[in-house]
């Protein structure tokens, strides 16, 4: 390890100058997320040894079978953020509705809300493959001191103050942006600190990896089928390589380092796509744009979409700029 690496804590303090607020509220919020990530990491790391694998026999509001780790990670992030009284509202993939946090004295003077996918890549938990956490942070638009309302959560992605993910992989990393580029921090498990290991992440403009669940091919729109054919043609530096983990966080992370495109389009079986706009696509789109990449629903910029529902789904095309633009060219032929 390089000795001169900053810890995440030091980095947050050094970057406080970027935020207009001087209350330290935003820094304390990031520190709480860091703490919750370490707790979840500890459990994920020994998942095969403790009774945390498998499902709980329940479904979330979207009809997905909840895994024990989905529920555990949700509890950790919710409790950490609620007990430390750091935010005024939270929405989570695993909660039916948003939660308004009153605070000790009955009024809550905090101004930030958090949207979270506590455990991304549920299907990979039991097979020891990388999973993640995704978070998105906004300032509330309703007055401070009153209960939060649904409109605080339905802001378009371009209003995000910060967003990031944790990838529990071969090493555990926390990657985030507060609108001034993207930085990655690797956890040193012996010490329990995250260190700045990947300053100023950038997607290569062009890439050679495409990531999509090709098992759904027959159900894809024609534009996606045509783009996949383009990726597989032997011409001009093609065929590209196909890589798909099935954890958005891990697929995104690899593509940001190596250059690639991630796609979860609409299909005949999922006419709205699968991924959720508020706590999956918006934060990843903000990170992508901050890292010189691009994110669309095939036609429109993700960050411009005005949300209408907490658990809204949206098709997602994200990654290296030129690849996302090329995919959009094929989509545009079938408006
Ligand atoms: P989650 O585990 O939070 O519900 O998210 C699952 C998402 C995403 O991580 C992944 O890219 C995608 O679902 C995989 O879906 P398929 O198994 O349909 O390919
Ligand atoms: Mn899920
Ligand atoms: Mn997810
Ligand atoms: Mn999830």
Under 8 Å between Cβ of 160 and 134:
no
Nearest to 265, CA basis, from 305, 309, 214: 214
Same domain assignment for residues 197 and 234: no
Residues 122 and 265 in one domain: no
Task: Among 116, 219, 274, 318, say which to mutate for ligand 1: greatest number of ligand atoms within 8 Å of CB.
Answer: 274
CA–CA distance, 136 with 77 (Å, rounded to integer): 13
274 lines ligand 1 (CB under 6 A): yes
Q: What atom of ligand 1 comes closest to residue 251's alpha carbon?
A: 11
Per-residue pLDDT tens over the stretch 76-105: 999 999 988 889 999 999 999 999 998 666
The pLDDT value given to residue 172: 97
How far, in Å, CA of 58 to CA of 65, rounded?
6
In this structure, the answer to whether residues 186 and 248 fall within a common structural domain is no
133: pLDDT confidence band, cut at 50, 70 and 90?
Answer: very high
Q: Is the CB of 94 under 6 A from ligand 1?
A: no
Smallest CA separation from ligand 1 atom 17, residue: 246
Q: Mean pLDDT in the chain?
A: 94
CA distances 134 to 2, 24, 32, 148, Å, are 27, 22, 14, 21
Query: Which ipTM did the prediction report?
Result: 0.97
| Range of the structural domain that residue 232 is part of | 209-334
* Together in a domain, 277 and 162: no
- Among protein residues, the one with the nearest Cα to ligand 1's atom 1 is 120
Q: Are residues 142 and 195 in the same domain?
A: yes
pLDDT at site 102? 83
Ligand 1 atom closest to the CA of 262, numbered from 1? 11
Is the residue at 121 inside a domain? yes
Neighbours of 52 (CB within 10 A): 17
- For ion ligand 2, residues whose CB falls within 5 Å: 64, 122
Report the distance separating Cα 275 and Cα 253, nearest Å.
17
Residues 182 and 311 occupy one common structural domain: no
Q: Is the pLDDT of residue 4 over 80?
A: no
> Does the C-beta of 122 come closer than 6 Å to ligand 1?
yes
Do both 234 and 261 map to the same domain?
Answer: yes
| Residue that finishes a domain, picked among 157, 175, 201 | 201
Q: Do 17 and 153 fall into the same domain? A: yes
Residue 115 lies in a domain: yes
The answer to whether 65 is annotated as binding is: no
Q: How far, in Å, CA of 289 to CA of 293, rounded? A: 5
How many domains is the chain built from? Answer: 2
């Amino acid at each position: 390890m390089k000795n001169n690496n900053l810890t995440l804590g030091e980095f947050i303090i050094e970057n406080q100058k970027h935020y207009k607020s001087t209350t330290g509220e935003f820094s304390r919020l990031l520190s709480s997320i860091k703490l919750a990530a370490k707790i979840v990491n500890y459990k994920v790391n020994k998942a095969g040894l403790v009774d945390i694998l498998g499902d709980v026999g329940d479904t979330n509001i979207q009809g997905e079978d909840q895994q024990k780790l989905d529920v555990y990670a949700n509890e950790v992030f919710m409790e950490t953020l609620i007990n430390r009284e750091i935010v005024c509202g939270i929405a989570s993939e695993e909660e039916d509705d948003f939660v308004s946090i009153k605070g000790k004295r009955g009024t809550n003077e905090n101004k930030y809300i958090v949207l979270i996918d506590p455990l991304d890549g549920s299907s990979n938990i039991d097979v020891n493959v990388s999973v993640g956490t995704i978070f998105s942070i906004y300032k509330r638009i309703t007055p401070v001191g009153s209960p939060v309302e649904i409109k605080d959560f339905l802001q378009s992605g371009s209003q995000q103050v910060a967003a990031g993910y944790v990838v529990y992989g071969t090493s555990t990393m926390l990657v985030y942006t507060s609108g001034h580029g993207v930085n990655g921090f690797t956890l040193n498990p012996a010490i329990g600190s995250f260190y700045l290991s990947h300053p100023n992440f950038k997607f290569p403009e062009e890439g050679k990896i495409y990531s999509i669940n090709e098992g759904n091919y027959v159900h894809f729109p024609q534009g996606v089928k045509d783009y996949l054919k383009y990726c597989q043609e032997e011409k001009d530096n093609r065929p590209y390589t196909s890589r798909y983990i099935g954890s958005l966080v891990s697929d995104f992370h690899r593509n940001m380092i190596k250059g690639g495109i991630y796609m979860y389009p609409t299909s005949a079986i999922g006419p709205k796509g699968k991924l959720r706009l508020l706590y999956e696509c918006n934060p990843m789109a903000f990170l992508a744009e901050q890292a010189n990449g691009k994110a669309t629903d095939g036609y429109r910029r993700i960050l411009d979409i005005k949300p209408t529902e907490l658990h809204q789904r949206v098709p997602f095309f994200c990654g290296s700029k030129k690849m996302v633009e090329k995919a959009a060219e094929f989509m545009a032929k079938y408006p």
